[in-house]
Amino acid sequence: MSRKMTISVDEEVYHGLLSVVGRRKISRFISDLARPHVVEDNLEAGYKAMAADEEYEAEAREWCSALIRDFHD
């Protein structure tokens, strides 16, 4: 569910958003930008996504193993 809200930004910021993000996309941009800072479940979802990525997990295990070998040497 989406909620409407009014915010005030500096004129330069407004024009920058228009030129970089584009008209009708500013709300989504700001929401996506703010979400990781204000919604806690996003972190858990991110960890679940990383754990599901088998290639990433294999690289992480290899990296950890190398650290352990370096420590024991």
Helix (H, G, I), strand (E, B) or coil at 9: coil
Per-domain boundaries in the chain: 1-39, 40-73
**Which tens digits make up the pLDDT trace of 3-49?**
999 999 999 999 999 999 999 999 999 999 998 788 777 677 888 88
**Which tens digits make up the pLDDT trace of 45-62?**
888 888 899 998 899 899
pTM, rounded to two decimals:
0.52
pLDDT at residue number 42:
66
Output the DSSP codes for 27-54: HHHHHHHHHHHH-THHHHHHHHHHHH-H
Q: pLDDT confidence of 65, banded at 50, 70, 90?
A: very high
